[in-house]
Each structure stands twice: as structure tokens, then as C-alpha cells.
Structure 1
Amino acid sequence: MYENQPPQPGQPHPDPSQPGYQQSGQPQPGHPQAAPVQKKRGGCLRMFLAGTAALVALVVIAVILSGGDETSGTPDGTTAPGTSAPSSGRDDQSERKPPGIGDVVKDGKFSFEITKIEKGLAQVGQGFAASKAQGQYVLVHVTVRNIGDEAQLFDGSAQKLIDSEGRQYDTDSGAALGLEGSNAFLNNINPGNSVSGILLFDVPKDFKPKAIQLHDSMFSGGVEVRLR
């Protein structure tokens, strides 16, 4: 049999029509072999890149839509120049003007309103009920209302007067007894009722008032009202 052996010199070329001829995968002389077909990868790469770009675009759009209501800021979380921070909806005590004369404030079961302040009094009361100041009397007029659901005792001695240097002064309860309209010594106030009274303080002649600290009892946290 011929098995596609190269012809020997002087021998005729094998005839494919002869019986027993087997054609191998080797290229035949004079018959060029076709080049193998290679798969093109460029198309797959372009499809992958196009899909990735579309996904990135969708993510960017989603971020823009979800962050449209957020406040513009710098990377460290501060507000960028030219922008304003959103309101938190809560009262910020540090940004509000402190309460003063004529403002209503609350502490515990009482609300307070300072209506007037008098300074420079050397004496209060008349006759045997008169009292002379060591320095000068300062009278702080206040309206106290019970905003609770049961009676509460208002004690004038729980209130503190503060000067410009931050020093605190107690009320002069003894002198207040002879002061007409004081109503500031152990006055029991029922729910919904209010009492107008006068807080009396004996302070130095060079006293400069800054504020008064008001309490619904001697154990409460208190609230401060400016007096200047």
C-alpha cells in the first residue's frame, strides 16, 4: 500500500485512484495548504468595554439623582463657600439671643417673666417694718405662673442675682417681709394661677447687674434671664 511516502528517485508519483492509496494530512507537493482560521477577539473586547461604560454611566446618574438634595460641602464635611447649611429643625440655644426682660422662660412647674428692675434704693418699708440696705437694694419684679398639674411652692430665696463679674447674690427675705407687694416668700401657687411679686437683693453700691437665675425650687437646674 501507498501511505503517502515521498516518491523515490526514479519512481512514479503515487496515483490516488489506485486501490489502497491513503491520503494523509501532510501537504501534497504542488498543492498549497489553506491557512488555519483564527478567531477574532477584537469584537468581544469591544462589547465588554461598551457594557462597562454603560454600567458606569448608570451608576453616575443614580448617584446624582440620590444626592441632589444634599448640601454641597468640602471633603472634610464643612459647608463649601457660598453655600448655607440646612436647618436641623431644632432650636440652637447658642445661636439664639438669650432671654431678657419681658421674655417668658420656664423651669420645672413654673414659668417666669421679669417685668422690671429697680436699683439704688437705700431703704424699703415704712416705720417699724423699714429696712436699710448694707449697700443698695435692687428690686426685680417678676410674674410667676404654675404650668404644672399640681400646687407648687414658690420660694424667693431660691432665686439668684448675678453681677457683671459672675458673682451670685441671695435675696434678702427679711427685708422683703416689709416690702408691700413682695409676694416672694414661700407663696403656694395652684395649677394655672400666677402671682406677681418682687425679689429683693441687698448688693454693693457699685453693683452692675448682669442676669438673674430663676428656679422652681432650690433643687432645680434653673433658667437665666439677662437684666441689661
Structure 2
Amino acid sequence: MGTHLITGGGSGIGEAVAERLAARDEELWLLARDAGRAKELRERFPGARTVVGDLAEPERLSWALGHQALPDRLDSLLHIAGVVDLGGVGELTPKVWNHQLAVNLVAPAELTRLLLPQLRAARGQVVFVNSGAGLRAHAQWGAYAASKHGLKALADALRWEESGNGVRVTTVYPGRTATPMQVCVHQQEGAEYDPERWMTPESVAATVLAALDLPKDAEITDLSVRPRG
């Protein structure tokens, strides 16, 4: 049985991953933005432990985690939480840029830094659930894509730095997935939302678990998964 810390475990892809791991009786630690959300997660996943920390304030994560119990070892750290705000480069304010960069890039970097001792102890794995926007940017997606391009760079650098410590690093690039975030994206695009057009969160979760379950003599570095059709 492994020990896994998940961000974004309350909905979408993160929830699907948490469900798959819970069904295997793995030990779950779920990051929550506040105490109320932590209570909801414990009710949703009986037996799971929660850690409170707001990804929108990465500079406070060290203090927050320093005042809470943490696992001694981590088999995986799964970065799945994220935010998206669309808009043209000529329209987006620094506040919008900074929020997306904080949640999507700086917080994963800081959380990884804080938990590297536990990952090294277990020779564990860091998984970044990125986005197709982490490989290419389109109009109106500048800030989000920039944060996800940065996340790819973070993963690539971390992989080189931690290979000698036995820590594997994987980036998964999902295409459009039927999640609450996708509903938000369609609202911002002014488009009709049809979940049948997109992958289910469970399909992406299966991809994440495939990377985790790979024998330790190998490493999936980058993996793209797309809706069919």
C-alpha cells in the first residue's frame, strides 16, 4: 500500500484519481484550501487524511504545512488542482496573471520543495497533470498556457535534479475533459457544453495510475491523452 498526496482531490480528475487509489486501499492525503473543504473531503473519502493549504497563496504554504502532521514517506505527490481564466493578452490584468501563475505553477513548485524529503525517502514519484495548453498556446489562453508551459519546465528540471535520488517525474497532458473546470471554460468561451464530446475524468485517472504502476526500472516522462473523434 502506497501513500499519496493529491491536490484537487475534490472534483474532476483529482477526485477520479483519489477514487481509484482509495479503491485499492492506498493511504490518501488530500490538500484542501480551508478547514471546511477539508471536512468535505474526509466525508467524501473516509479514512483519508487532509492537509490545509491555499494554493493561491504559495508563499504561505511553508508556514501552513509546518503546523500540521505530514506523512513520513510519500510514494507520490499528484499535482492535479488548477484554475483557468481566459482572455486576450491585451485584456488580462496582473491580478489575473498572478492568480493563475500562483495556483498552476508557483504552488506546485513550492509544495514539491516542501515534500521532497518524503518523496526521496520513498523513492517516490511526482505527477504533474498539465494540459494540452502546456504544449501549445491559442488565442485567449495566454496566461493559462504560460502557467502550464512553466509547469512543463518545472517538471523537466525536477526530473534531472532528482533522478539520482530515485524520484520519478511524470507530466500528463490531457485534452478537454468533462470536469467542472470544463464547464467554466465553456462559459468563458460562450460555447454550449456537451460532456459527451470530451473524455471522462476516469480516463485521465487511468492514465495517471498507469504512470504510477510502471515498474520502478522505468519512467514515463511525458504522456498526452486526447478525446477520440
Structure with greater strand share of residues: 1
TM-score (norm 2): 0.16
Structure with greater helix share of residues: 2
Which of the pair has more CA radius of gyration?
A: 1
TM-score (norm 1): 0.16
